[in-house]
Structure 1
Amino acid sequence: MSRGFEIGIGLQSDKRPGDYARLARIAEEHGIDVVSVFGDLMYQPPIFPLLEMAAATSRVRLGTACLNPYSMAPYEIAGQVAALDLASGGRAYLGLARGTWLGEVGLAQPRPLTALAECAEVVYRLLGGDTSGFSGEVFTLAPGTALRYPVQRPRPPLLIGAWGARGAALAGRLADEIKVGGSANPAMVPVIRERLRPGAEQAGRSAEDVGIVLGAVTVVAADGAAARAKARREVAMYLAVVADLDPTANVPADLLARVKTETAAGRHDEAAGLIPDDLLDLFAFSGTPDQVAAQAQRLIDAGVHRVEFGTPHGLTDDQGVSLIGAEVVPMLRPATR
């Protein structure tokens, strides 16, 4: 078992007021370490559920996985992470990624690595009270520019969301953690570790200093077959995206093409039925608590810093989060039984 690993859950921001607080309390009471909120296009802004959860908890770390510098300016990102860190008493993390599907709202994403690096620079200059100014290729701060409100910490931890070699190298240079979203594949852990290495060495540190986070759709239930059926349907909707990002998965091109065709036609059950068990296990956590714990343990053994169990968690959110906390967590941390 890895030293100092964490267990997290990731929530979609599609719920009603009060739901987030309830789920976060369940998570905290059962020893879960981190609660993240996805920053997906056209869902509720993550700051709303995060502030609700900050008020309802006292221990879990909280953050967005992830914000992007195209739909939100760096000074606004600084303000949101500062607000969350203040509301939570110093439990916030900052999650940044290039963003997905922004073309649907007319946003181009030029020079993503430069934009991410400069966004982080601007955010931390603002949080740290550095008024010397910054002149980058994408973002600037005029000398004397400063936040006009209290800040809890000058540098909440940074998570960068990335799969590719260049994004991982950037995380190796700048971040505390890298998140590989949509993967439950232990074989990706050494791949990401090597992709981190050039950036880490450039920054004068070890690649092992950057925590690797793997997170994916999770469906856990006493009825393992029902859980896996629901997970298979969820995975069918994003398999075409993540399968091409995983160099170890070797997904047959004809299978991907068939899943894409069925999904595009709205035949989601047919698309789900094409996904075999071994492929499902690379891109989702699903089944009984024993099955999900075994999947997570393989990631921990491979060296992840954090396993993040993503939405929908179970046949319902509450049942899933409760089962993860009450049954999966004790199997990963036997001393908590």
Structure 2
Amino acid sequence: MTVAEIGLGLQGDKRAGDYARLARRAERHGFDVISVFGDLMYQPPLFPLLEMAAATRRVRLGAACLNPFSLAPYEIAGQVAALDLASGGRAYLGLARGTWLGAVGIAQPRPATALAEAAEVVYRLLGGDAGGYHGQVFRLEPGTRLRYEVHRPHPPLLLGTWGPTGAALAGRIADEIKVGGSANPAMVPVIRERVRAGAEETGRDLADIGIVLGAVTVVDTDGAAARARARTEVAMYLAVVAELDPTAGVPADLLARVRKLVDAGDDRAAGALIPGDLLDLFAFSGTPEQVAAQAQALIDAGVRRVEFGTPHGLGDDRGVELLGTAVLPLLKR
């Protein structure tokens, strides 16, 4: 039986030194993976990841996720190679289509094809294949190769996606699929069936593809304050992912009001509209006991990894400390 992992997801909004401190604390408390989000207009994930690689010895590290529309596959190959070298082989490759790229004028045509071909190009470059590649979106001319040594030719691949097409792609080529912005156990069997289609097409064992669910997390001994903060934090993500969850049944009028307030920059007011039962589908929040119960429900549903996302608590250090000392010990993995 595969033992579930617990991950920590960090936003690229911190100062130099903060990432190393938080990563050391997370590793000491027994976290298995630390991810850095690749969200638009935040720090690129590579800087935080390299800082954490130097500060840790055991945890796996990766960007969740990079996208091939704003970052060319040869650059993605270079970034994951740098992280893998700096961490001694603890990097994973995280790819997703990306969100909010319209704000910077970047279109995202044929996302599934782009993701599949980006992964192909990255692994050809890391593996030293100079034979060339001509895809529908990306290409490598024969003789094109990296001009530096890499630590591993094939760090594991995580695809960030919700939909059937992306999940089937994960079933064909990925080691893990991450459903970002969800804490909903009912999504686990939905994603498993979507992944199954791709796995069966290529003869892969479904059990070899790990399902990862991660979401905004706010834990504190003051559970009411934690849940109030979580409502504000989750509002802008709810506007993006709510319609992707076929089990959630988010009322259309509620979602429209949340989106209107988010677009107006009033995340607090938007979050105040989110009822408690809906909050629990899209965020981990409350006391350590409440957060542990949410995570345990995902583990019981069969996820390979639960990822506790930013901001973790009412403050970064307090949140990571409570997750490590008061939540992780309650989990049966």
Displacement of 1:271 after TM fit? Answer: 2.1
SS at match of 2:216: strand
Aligned match of 1:198: 197
SS at match of 2:254: helix
Displacement of 1:300 after TM fit? Answer: 0.1
Return the alpha-carbon distance in structure 2 between the equivalents of residues 13 and 255 of structure 1: 30
Aligned match of 2:227: 228
Return the alpha-carbon distance in structure 1 between the equivalents of residues 308 and 322 of structure 2: 12
1:268 to 1:129, Cα distance in 2 relative to 1, 3 A: closer
Displacement of 1:333 after TM fit? Answer: 4.5
Return the alpha-carbon distance in structure 1 between the equivalents of residues 84 and 266 of structure 2: 43
Aligned match of 1:124: 123
Return the alpha-carbon distance in structure 2 between the equivalents of residues 160 and 309 of structure 1: 18
SS at match of 1:217: strand
Aligned match of 1:137: 136
Range with greater deviation from structure 2 (106-115 or 9-18): 106-115
Displacement of 1:3 after TM fit? Answer: 3.0
SS at match of 2:93: strand
Residue 301 (1) aligns with residue 300 (2): yes
Aligned match of 1:181: 180
Matches within 5 A, 1:1-337: 3-333=2-332
Displacement of 1:129 after TM fit? Answer: 0.9
Return the alpha-carbon distance in structure 2 between the equivalents of residues 255 and 110 of structure 1: 30
Return the alpha-carbon distance in structure 1 between the equivalents of residues 88 and 261 of structure 2: 47
The letter for the 1-side match of 2:39 is: D
SS at match of 2:195: helix
Count of matched residue pairs? 333
Displacement of 1:84 after TM fit? Answer: 0.2
Return the alpha-carbon distance in structure 1 between the equivalents of residues 29 and 78 of structure 2: 31
SS at match of 1:58: coil
Displacement of 1:206 after TM fit? Answer: 2.3
Deviations 1:25-54, CA, capped at 9 Å, x for gaps? 000000000000000111111000000000
Return the alpha-carbon distance in structure 1 between the equivalents of residues 74 and 267 of structure 2: 41
Return the alpha-carbon distance in structure 2 between the equivalents of residues 208 and 218 of structure 1: 27
Consecutive unaligned residues in structure 1, runs of 5 or more = none
The letter for the 1-side match of 2:33 is: V
Return the alpha-carbon distance in structure 2 between the equivalents of residues 206 and 37 of structure 1: 29
> Are the counterparts in 2 of residues 193 and 208 from structure 1 also a CA contact under 8 Å?
no
The letter for the 2-side match of 1:43 is: Y
Deviations 1:155-190, CA, capped at 9 Å, x for gaps? 000000000000000000000000000000000000
SS at match of 2:325: helix
1:111 to 1:293, Cα distance in 2 relative to 1, 3 A: same
The letter for the 1-side match of 2:242 is: A
> Are the counterparts in 1 of residues 296 and 332 from structure 2 also a CA contact under 8 Å?
no
The letter for the 1-side match of 2:7 is: G
The letter for the 1-side match of 2:149 is: P
The letter for the 1-side match of 2:323 is: I
Return the alpha-carbon distance in structure 2 between the equivalents of residues 258 and 112 of structure 1: 29
Deviations 1:256-302, CA, capped at 9 Å, x for gaps? 12222333334433322221111000000000110000000000000
Return the alpha-carbon distance in structure 1 between the equivalents of residues 239 and 49 of structure 2: 30
Deviations 1:108-133, CA, capped at 9 Å, x for gaps? 11111111101000100111111111
SS at match of 1:205: coil
Return the alpha-carbon distance in structure 2 between the equivalents of residues 266 and 135 of structure 1: 43
1:109 to 1:269, Cα distance in 2 relative to 1, 3 A: closer
Displacement of 1:207 after TM fit? Answer: 2.1
Deviations 1:280-333, CA, capped at 9 Å, x for gaps? 000000001100000000000000000000000000011101111111111115
Return the alpha-carbon distance in structure 1 between the equivalents of residues 239 and 232 of structure 2: 13
The letter for the 1-side match of 2:77 is: A
Return the alpha-carbon distance in structure 1 between the equivalents of residues 330 and 108 of structure 2: 42
Displacement of 1:202 after TM fit? Answer: 1.3
> Are the counterparts in 1 of residues 62 and 91 from structure 2 also a CA contact under 8 Å?
yes
SS at match of 1:237: helix
Range with greater deviation from structure 2 (266-275 or 3-12): 266-275
> Are the counterparts in 1 of residues 158 and 177 from structure 2 also a CA contact under 8 Å?
yes
Return the alpha-carbon distance in structure 1 between the equivalents of residues 260 and 79 of structure 2: 40
Give the alignment's TM-score, normalised by structure 1.
0.97
The letter for the 2-side match of 1:83 is: A
Give the alignment's TM-score, normalised by structure 2.
0.98
Return the alpha-carbon distance in structure 1 between the equivalents of residues 95 and 62 of structure 2: 10
